[in-house]
Structures are given as C-alpha cells and as structure tokens.
Structure 1
Amino acid sequence: MNRRKFVQLSGMGAALFSSGLVQGKIISAEDLLAPGMDVAVKKKLADVALNAAKSKGATYADVRIGRYLRQYFFTKEMRVENIVNSESYGLGIRVISNGTWGFCATNDLSVDSIAKCAATAVAIAKANSEMQEEPVILAPQKGVGIQSWKTPITKNAFTIPVKEKIDLLMKVNGEAIKNGATFVNSNLFFINEQKYFASTDGSYIDQDVHRMWPTFTVTAVDKKAGKFKTRDALSAPIGMGYEYLDGLSSEKKSILGKPTVYRFSYDMVEDAILAAQQAQEKLSAKSVVAGKYDMILDPSNLGLTIHESVGHPLELDRVLGYEANLAGTSFATMEKWESKNFQYGSKIVNFIADKTQPNSMAAVGYDDEGVPCKNWNLIKDGILVNYQATRDQVHILGEKESQGCSFADSWDSIQFQRMPNVSLQSGTEKYSVADMIKDTEKGIYILGRGSSSIDQQRYNFQFSGQLFYEVKNGEIVGMLDNAAYQSNSQEFWNSCTKICDKDDYRLFGTLFDGKGQPGQSSAVSHGCSTSRFNGVNVINTGRKI
C-alpha cells in the first residue's frame, strides 16, 4: 500500500488540530446542535468593543464574534479510525489608530475582557504606527445596518445521526472492496461558521455558513506484479447541507458511459464502486508516450489548475509582493494590467470572481469587512482586466469600492485578502464533451485531481490527474497511466481552443486552501465546463524501482 497516503489519512485527525484546521475544544455530536449566542447579545457585546476602541482613539473599528463548528469522520476499510467534533468560540477586534492597523482577540466574552481587548488592539496600532510609512486608506463603505445571511440548505449535516454517517462510510468502503479495492479510506467533513460582524460604519451582520466534503481514496493492489494504483473521489467540496449526499441530480451519463457527472447531488457509494473498478483498470493501463497532445480536461481536473494558475496569481497582495507564503508572489504584475492588452488567455477565456455563486464554498452575503458580496471580471476575452482586493487595497487599482475579498478563518485570526470563487465561463454555443472528443485527433481526456507543482511566481507548472483516457481520431481508445501535463500559465490559457456549454458546468474546489503567515485556511470553489487545450506538453511520470 502507499504508506505515505495511509499515514496522511489515518493521522489526519491529529494533523488537523496541529495545523489549525480544527480549533477550540472537543465536544459531543449533540453539542454541535446547541444554540449559539442570541443575536441581541452579540450586538451588545460588539458595541462594547466598538465603543471601547473609539474611546481609546481608534478612528475605525470592526469586531467579529465567531462560533466555529467542525465534524470530521475518518475510516479505513471496515473500521472507524476517528470522529472529531469541535467548537471554537471567541471575539476578534481590528482597529485603525494613527493610520495603522491593530488587532486583538479573546475567548473571554465578559464585558471587562472585551473592553480590555479593544484597548489592547488600539495600543498595538499606535505602537505599529511608529514604523508605518503610509497610512491605511480604506475604501468608503456605507453601513448596512442590521442584516443576516445563511447558506441555503435543506438538511443541516449536524442533525444527521452519527450512526447514519458511519453506515454510509462503511457501505462506501464495503462496496469498494467488493468491486476490486484492496484498501479504502473514506472521510466526511462538515463545517458550520456562525459569524457576527459589526463596525463603526454602522453594520451589524449575522451569518450562518455551511460547507461539506465527502471524499475517499481506493487502492487496488496487484500482488503478483508488485504494484498498486489509487483513485480518489470525484466529489466536490460544496456549500450545501447533507442533501448533497442524496444521490445523482440527473440521469445524465458521461462520455465513458457511466454516471460520473456530479453537480449538486453526489452518490458516494456509486463513485466508490466506479473508483474500485477504475483503480483495477489502471493496473493494466498503457503508460503514456510523452509528447504534445490536445488536453480535454474535465472540471474535476481543471478546477485545481484554475486555482493555482489564475486564482492565486490574481490576488492583489501577491501581485504587490505583500504576500509570498505558500508558493510565492505572482507573474501577473501591475504593468501587465495597466497595459490593458496583456493576453492572459485566448479570446474565449473569460474568468469571473464571484462570492454570490449558489452552492459555492466562498459564497457569503458579506465579507469579513462587512462589504456586500458581488461578482466582477478578472479576465475578459483573454485580457487581464482586474484583480482581487480588499478595502485597504482597492485605491491602488483606482477603484472606490471594495470587491469584498476579506476573510479570516477564525475569530482569533486577523482578516486579510482571500480568494473569491474564480470560475471559467462556459462556451456560448451548444457543445458537449462527446462533441469535443469527436473533434480531437490526438488527445488525452483527464478526470480528477492529482499531483501538482507550480513555481514561486505562479507561472511554470505541472499537473496530473486521477483518470487518463487516450483519444484517437475522435474516439476514446483506452486508459492511459503515468501522465502529467506541463506548461506555463499564459501559454496554457492561450492554448484553450474550446469550452463546453453551460450544461456541462460544474463546481470543484478546496475546503482547506492555505495562505498567509501565520497560516490560515479558507474554502473556495472553481466552476467550469470541460475544456480543450491544444498542443500541451505531456510527460511520463512512471519510474522503475
């Protein structure tokens, strides 16, 4: 078995705590459903913080009261490895004083503690101002008054009994083993963020955010040949409730003749059965011949490439060199945007940033600066037209309104610029995956996310996948193995020659996207339809041991 994968998954519970992805205290599953603080009480505590900050000299202040709930399941074959239920509760205060940011947080929500925390935040800002060369410039933001927003769900995942969730994972694992898997790990991740924001601008915003991710890895072993192959789930992390696990939302089948197209409903058992069968098939798949191919990339594969080669490079803090942690800065520097003619991709390539997209993971009503969320163009007809920014950044772009890209992963983390949903727009003419394959002479059809690597400017990269199918003269002729595609961000997106229509559009993304130092984790989705990229370099990743 792949020991590295085994250690990664079986030890994930402890690793999540140490990495900060699970915070606070361990609680019971029943406590996940306990009511949080009444919104009227939150407002009173928020006013304590805001008034204390102003009395100490803050010219601006915002406060976030957060309750963060997590439930994670880890299984291996026919046993449960771990179940994690956790809660983190507290308050963070951010201020501007002497033109400089200051921040402080506390999990003691008494009036005296909150007032002291606010005073500390102002003292930190004043101390920092001695080294500040330019004052913070905030884009105007009119207070929105008392508002609320909730992820539209029909089944709160925490209301589903633990036994029902374990039974699902045991069925997933059992069916995978019946169909050829030697080993299988399966997981469920459920997250609820109850976030309250208030500011001296006059906003009081209560939000209830739900996200989830069902996933697994199956491994098929050929003992005689001494090798193994894996296949991960083709599920998407998504901003929904437990209804995502109700099964397929339609009877539409993929070009492979199997119902592997998942939109807003996912059959985890069916996918596990297919994964076991496909892992077995991979054991005898032909190793790819390196060379130039037309790449047909399913959204389950292309989502990660979008994330790394478009999402992160267009974060304005990376562009400006303010942020370099976790894979560096950005090649998409300001002069390219200022030229108004930087050809980031071909003319059919259009990227939109959108924090309002239903079922997406970055969808909220308001960002963590109280800015109403919206959508805007990043790349239009292949040309770089904008970036992702926050209230204290948009003046650099000559804009007077924040794009709503502020986020903090916890009440005790200071908010900063995080990625919105960044999605490739579908083709405008009727065009299916079957049409795309029919129009391809020499290509590779790739599904699922595999290994990835990108340089410190988010430019040169290499991506792999889960499933590879050889396309010859308009037909799929068999499965391939050991394939990865290499390119650079500009060359790759300029090689995009065709995008399927909106009927093929799907969301993929990540529940744990790291950035910053100290590191923070956020959730983000990337939507797209199956797309073709011509003349991409493919390498053979196989090696003899």
Structure 2
Amino acid sequence: MKRRNFLELSALGFGGLMMPSIPVFGDIIAPERALEQVDPALKKRLADVALNAAKSKGASYADVRIGRYLQQYIFTREQQVQNIVNAESYGVGVRVLANGTWGFAATSDVTDKGIAKAAEQAVSIAKANAKLQKEPVQLAPVQSYGEVSWRTPLEKNAFEVPVGEKAELLLAANAKATENGANFVNSALFQVNEQKYFASTEGSYIDQDVHRIWPNFTVTAVDKATGKFRTRDALSSPMGMGYEYMIPKAAEKIKGPEGTGLVGYRNAYDILEDAALAAKQAKAKLTAKSVMAGKYDLVLDPNHLGLTIHESVGHATELDRVLGYEANYAGTSFATLDKWKGKNFKYGSDKVNIIADKTQKGSLGYVGWDDEGVKTKQWDLIKNGVLVNYSTIRDQAHIIGERASSGCCYADSWSSVQFLRMPNVSLAPGKEKKTVDQLISGIDRGIYIAGRGSYSIDQQRYNFQFGGQTFHEIKGGKIVGMLEDVAYQSNTQEFWNSCADMCDESDYRLFGTFFDGKGQPSQISAVSHGSATTRFNGVNVINTARKI
C-alpha cells in the first residue's frame, strides 16, 4: 500500500474505537524489518545530493527530509486477534525556494538519481509558481546546528516486544472487561516510529528517532430486554514513550473523586484495571439518570479537558488559521490579530495560563527540532487569561513581528510538504495544593466529566459542544451518582472566562491524539495536551436524548 492509500478496518468490527478507518502509510512488512536502521552517513550523503542538485538549478534555499516511517497496529475483539498491520514508508521530500517562491517534490526512489531528479523538479515547480507569487517568501533566521541527533527517551522499544506478547495483553484486557459485565469489547495497540533526517543549505544535518504508543479499547454493555446499549472507551492517553507505558507496576495512579471509582494514570497505564472498570461503568450507564438541562458547575478530568483545549485553544492559536491561510479544513480562528499584542483580550479568567511546549518529556509532540530545522522550545499562548502569542513557522513569523519561528512546522510523511502544526498546548495547573474532592466540595449543582466524547466546534473555533465518556452528578459537594445524555455548550471566550479553579501539579496528566487532521491534501499529526482537573462555573448543559 502506498502513501495515500488507506486500510479500511470498519469491516473488522473495529467499531467506535476511534475512527472508521485508520491511515496506514507505506508497504506491509515483516515485524522484524522494523528493527533495521539506515546508516546516518548514508543519509547525509543522500541529503547532499539533493541540496547540491537544487542549488545547481537555481534554488536560493533548499531542505531535504529523508524519512522512514514505521507503524504497527494490533486489533482484537473479545477472544480473537482480528488484524495485525506492520507497515513501512521510506522516501525523500525536497523543498526549495527559487525566485522567492516555494517548490516541493518527493520520491520513493532513494538513489542518487531519484533524489537529484526530485530536487530538480522542486526547483522547476518553484519557478513556475513564481509567476503567480505576489510577494517573495521571507524566512525567519535559524541557527546552523551541524550534525546532531535526538531520540525519544525510551526504556523499552515497543517494536522489540514480540507481537504475541502485545496481543496477549490486549486479549487479557478484553477478558477483564467481559468478566465484569461487558457484552462486547474491541481493543487496539498503535505504535509509531518516525526516523527523520533533515538537512538544509543553511548547514544543519539533524537525525531524529521518534517513538509513540497508544493502547485503546471500547467496551459495550447491552440490556438484552430492551436492546439498549452503552459504551465506555479507554481512559488511556497516547504517549511519546516506549513499551514501558504498558507496564502497570510503573504507573503513578491518581485517585479520582470519591464515588466514581476512576483512576488517572501517569508514566504508565494499567489497561487491565481500566478495562474492568470500563465494563462496570458501561453497565451502570444503562440505568443512569438522564440529565436535566440547565446551568451547572463542571469539573473536568484531564482526559476530557484535553480535547476542549485542543479544539478551542490549540487550533485557534495556529497563526495560519488566524491569518486565513487555513480555512477549508475546519476553518480559521476568532483569535485574530486585532485581539493580540497590547489589546489585553481576555481569552479566559486570570486562572487560565496556556503554554505551548515542544520539549515536554513523554508528550506526543516532544522532539528536538521541527521539520524546518528549528530547535523546539516552550512559550506562552495565554498568560493570566490574556492572549499573548501564537504558533508560528519560518515563513510566517515576520507577519507578527517575531524574529524566529516557534518550531511548529511538520509533515506527516516524507511525501508531504511541511506546514504549521499545533504544538503541545496545555493548561498550567494551580499553584495551591488541592485535590479533586476539595475542588468538588464547594459545588451544590454540578457534573464531573471524564473521557473524550463526541464534539462539535464552528469554523472560527468559537461556538462549541462537547460530550464525554462518564458523567457524575455533584450535589452538596459530593458525587451522588451517574448521569447520562450530557453535553455542554458554550463559546470559547465565555467558557475559559468561567474557569474558576484547578488542582495542583500532583493531579496534572496528559491527553493526546495520534490523528489530528489538517490541510489539503489532508495530513495527520500527533499532539498532547496537559492539565490538572479543572472547575468551570455556570456552563450550559443540554440533554442529548431530548428532542427539540
């Protein structure tokens, strides 16, 4: 299978786990092939072929990305392994500036001749594009790093763990779910390894080895008398880690609020414990009380709040959306330049401090350099509730007066052109020591929400609606039972200005996604969002089962 083909998995009973189809890039390979390495000296020599060919044809700047992208996906249902996918994609992408205009070409022919041809084609495309370019591209300066390397800190490479061992763990999780009342269960383990080599005419040769992992499941409980069914997904988070994430004894467990049985996980994930609880909660949902619509104080678990951060802050502060360059795929942004720099625009309450960070260990976005050779960093997006910055790349930084890119330029493959992608975007925890139960104790009418659910947000990242996995009613400062049919509606500014309090760093956890879509042709990206459990006052809650 080639780069833009997709493996259809819906017929395999993958169901509602995450997507009706999961993108698989490249050719199907034997699992042991994933352990092979490409010599960095060979990659440097091939990179020089591309750079020299581009310059000889008139490029004023060129960069080359030699990429080897590996995937292993394991899918199970109840007692069966349904599918195992091992895929490799290997090739070269060349981006150039000629006559002040971008050109890009890519090839899977990783030879001197194939690479030189791609470089020459990229220059030809740039020169053709220059006839329509109104202003020349301006690149923010970047340091030349010479020959450097970076690798995801790993304790155990997931690709070295036998497939059978990983499948057995998923099947054991399925068994835990069925033992505790689930009628159906699907589970999956996603593993990704990106071996990315970047070089440019500015003198950087950067070799990176990026690893990510994500266990997931969906359990379903059925009332056979009525045919009614309810599901609960895993409360795992995809991580920039190795197989150590799957070793439960290494997990730092964070107790959820009294009356929920929920557990948060850091550093590692106990899939067996979560699967057992998920089955019990899916079964409990069958008899849970339907919510009465109205205003509630919401207490949002990090595994839920991360998605709200992603949609209402992460995407809204991408500079290309702000400028209107990105519009067709999920819209632009309300957070326009007239609200920034000296305008004191109150994005949220004084409690809201949103940080962009490409250096956070364990996160999906943790890398050493972006796909333009810019060293990654941390910076503020929202400070004490005020919008203070955006995410930028080299050819857009000058538009807002920045002297350097914030290191947010990425592509999902060697065959894709790199463009602005969201960094890790996280809500800073509170400074005062506070547990979830203490956060709940002052609430007379509220709902505690855990897990990601269905959602919708408008084309300017402003008006939205979010659901979740489990909903727990709060009365008199305590959890009193489960609720169903819950979703909350708000707009971004109103919602973040209702932020009243949050737990401290001891409750801080990461949420994330492997499949953040953007661009045309569409690309996916992996990104994390951190927070502690957080309270929002007076948010409008609707009943999703009631007909209007």
Deviation per CA, 1:262-284, whole angstroms, max 9, x where unpaired?
11110001100000001011111
Aligned match for 2:30, one of 28, 31, 54: 28
Indicate the SS of the match to 2:14.
Answer: helix
CA distance in 2, matches of 1:405, 1:348: 26
**Does residue 490 in structure 1 map to residue 493 in structure 2?**
yes
TM-score (norm 1): 0.96
Q: SS at 2:380's partner residue?
A: strand
Query: Whole-Å Cα distance in 1 between the matches of residues 461 and 297 of structure 2?
Result: 22
1:320 aligned partner:
323
Distance change in 2, residues 1:516/1:300 (3 Å): same
What is the deviation of 1:14? 11
CA distance in 2, matches of 1:439, 1:84: 49
Secondary structure of the corresponding residue to residue 403 of structure 1: coil
Please state whether the residue corresponding to 1:229 is helix, strand or coil.
strand
Partner of 1:106: 107
- 1:252-267 residue pairs with structure 2 within 5 A? 252-256=254-258, 258=261, 260-267=263-270
Contact residue 251 and residue 259 of structure 1 kept, 8 A: no
Pairwise CA distance, 1:340: 2.7
User: After the TM superposition, which of the residue ranges 317-326 and 251-260 deviates more from structure 2?
Assistant: 251-260
Which amino acid is the alignment partner of residue 140 of structure 2? A
- Equivalent positions of 1:411-422 (< 5 A) are 411-422=414-425
The alignment's C-alpha RMSD in Å is 1.6
One-letter amino acid matched to 2:291: V
Matched residue SS, 1:261? strand
Report the Cα offset of residue 356 of structure 1: 0.3
Whole-angstrom CA distance in 1 between matches of 2:133 and 2:373: 25
| Contact 1:10 1:76 (8 Å CA) reproduced | no
**CA deviation after TM superposition for structure 1 residue 424, in Å:** 0.3
Which letter maps to 2:75? F
Question: Which residue of structure 2 lines up, in the alignment, with residue 44 of structure 1?
Answer: 45
The secondary structure found in structure 2 opposite 1:527 is: strand
Matched, 1:234 2:198: no
1:390-443 deviation per Cα after TM superposition (whole angstroms, max 9, x unaligned): 000100110111100000000000000000000000001111101001111110
* Aligned mates of 2:379, 2:16 — CA distance in 1: 40
Which residue number in structure 2 is paired with residue 130 of structure 1?
A: 131
**Partner letter of residue 384 of structure 2?**
D
Other structure's SS at 2:374 match: coil
TM-score (normalizing by structure 2): 0.96
Corresponding residue for residue 14 of structure 2 = 9
- 1:503 is aligned to 506
Equivalent residue number for residue 115 of structure 1: 116
What residue in structure 2 maps to residue 431 of structure 1? 434
* Counterpart position of 1:334: 337
CA distance in 1, matches of 2:481, 2:149: 52
Aligned to 1:54: 55
Using the alignment, how far apart are the partners of 2:43 and 2:150 within structure 1? Answer: 15
Partner in structure 2 of residue 158 of structure 1:
159
| Matched-pair contact (CA < 8 Å) for 2:254–2:265 | no
1:278 corresponds in structure 2 to: 281
> Partner of 1:367 in structure 2?
370
Going from structure 1 to structure 2, the CA distance change for 1:23 and 1:377 (only over 3 Å counts) comes to same
Query: Contact conserved, 1:303 with 1:508, CA < 8 A, in 2?
Result: yes
Query: C-alpha separation between the residues in 2 aligned to 1:13 and 1:395?
Result: 38
Residue type of the alignment partner of 1:486: Q
Q: Which moved more, 1:259-268 or 1:298-307?
A: 259-268
TM-superposed CA distance for 1:189, in Å, is 0.1
Shift of 1:543: 4.6
Q: Match of 2:229, SS?
A: strand
Report how far residue 339 of structure 1 moved: 4.3
Quickly say closer, same or farther: Cα 1:355–1:368, change in 2 above 3 A: same
Q: How does 1:396-545 map to 2 (within 5 A)?
A: 396-543=399-546
Q: Which residue of 1 aligns with 2:393?
A: 390
Question: Are the aligned partners of 1:325 and 1:515 in contact in 2 as well (CA < 8 Å)?
Answer: no
| Secondary structure of the structure 2 residue equivalent to 1:330 | coil
- Contact map agreement 1:236 1:508 (CA 8 A) in 2: yes
Quickly say closer, same or farther: Cα 1:359–1:401, change in 2 above 3 A: same
Contact 1:394 1:401 in 2 (8 A): yes
How big is the shift at 1:15?
Answer: 6.2
Instruction: Supply the distance in 2 between the matched residues of 1:475 and 1:53 (Cα, whole angstroms).
Output: 66
Q: 1:499 deviation in Å?
A: 1.2
Deviations 1:35-93 (A, max 9, x none): x2100010000001001100110000000000000000111111111110000000000
Q: In percent, how many aligned pairs have the same letter? A: 65
* Range with bigger deviation, 498-507 or 259-268: 259-268
**Residues 253, 265 of structure 2: 8 Å contact kept:** no
Residues 7 and 543 (structure 1 numbering): CA distance in 2 closer, same or farther, change over 3 Å? Answer: farther
Secondary structure in 1 aligned to 2:266?
Answer: coil
Asked whether the 8 Å contact 1:16–1:22 carries over to 2, the reply is no
| Structure 1 residue 261, shift from structure 2 partner | 1.0
Greater CA drift, 353-362 or 323-332 = 323-332
Secondary structure at the aligned position of 2:367 is classed as coil
- Whether the aligned pair in 1 keeps the contact of 2:464 and 2:491 (CA below 8 Å) is yes
Q: Contact between 2:17 and 2:218, CA under 8 Å: does it hold in 1?
A: no
Which string of whole-angstrom CA distances, capped at 9 and with x for unpartnered residues, describes residues 204-260 of structure 1? 000000001000000000011220000000000110000001115235422246361
Would you say the 8 A contact 1:185–1:217 is kept in 2?
yes
Partner Cα distance (1:185, 1:235) in 2? 14
* SS in structure 2 at match of 1:362: coil
**Corresponding letter in the other structure for 2:374:** V
Question: Alignment partner of 1:149: what SS?
Answer: strand
CA drift at 1:540: 0.4
Once the two structures are superposed, residues 310-332 of structure 1 have per-residue CA deviations (whole angstroms, 9 ceiling, x without a partner) of: 00010000011100133211111
* 14 and 37 in structure 1: CA distance in 2 versus 1, 3 angstrom threshold: farther
| 1:206 equivalent in structure 2 | 207
> Counterpart of 2:301?
298
Distance 1:81 1:192 in 2: 22
Instruction: Give the C-alpha shift of residue 526 in structure 1.
Output: 0.1
Secondary structure at the aligned position of 2:118 is classed as helix
Superposed CA deviations along residues 331-375 of structure 1, whole A, max 9, x for unmatched, are: 111101144310000011000100000000011000000000001
Q: What is the rounded CA distance, in whole Å, between the counterparts of 1:334 and 1:445 in structure 2? A: 35
* Structure 1 counterpart SS, 2:45: helix
| CA drift at 1:10 | 5.4
Aligned 8 A contact 2:10 2:21 in 1:
no
SS in 1 for 2:473: strand
Change (3 A) 1:356 1:443: same
Kept in 2, the 8 Å contact 1:459–1:490? The answer is: yes
2:5 paired residue number = none
User: Which moved further from structure 2: 206-215 or 331-340?
Assistant: 331-340
Q: Does 1:168 align with 2:169?
A: yes
Preserved CA contact (<8 Å) 2:17 2:233: no
- Cα distance in 2, alignment partners of residues 378 and 316 from structure 1: 11
- What residue is the counterpart of 2:187 in the other structure? 186
Counterpart-to-counterpart distance in 2, 1:349 and 1:280 = 36
1:352 aligns with 2:360: no
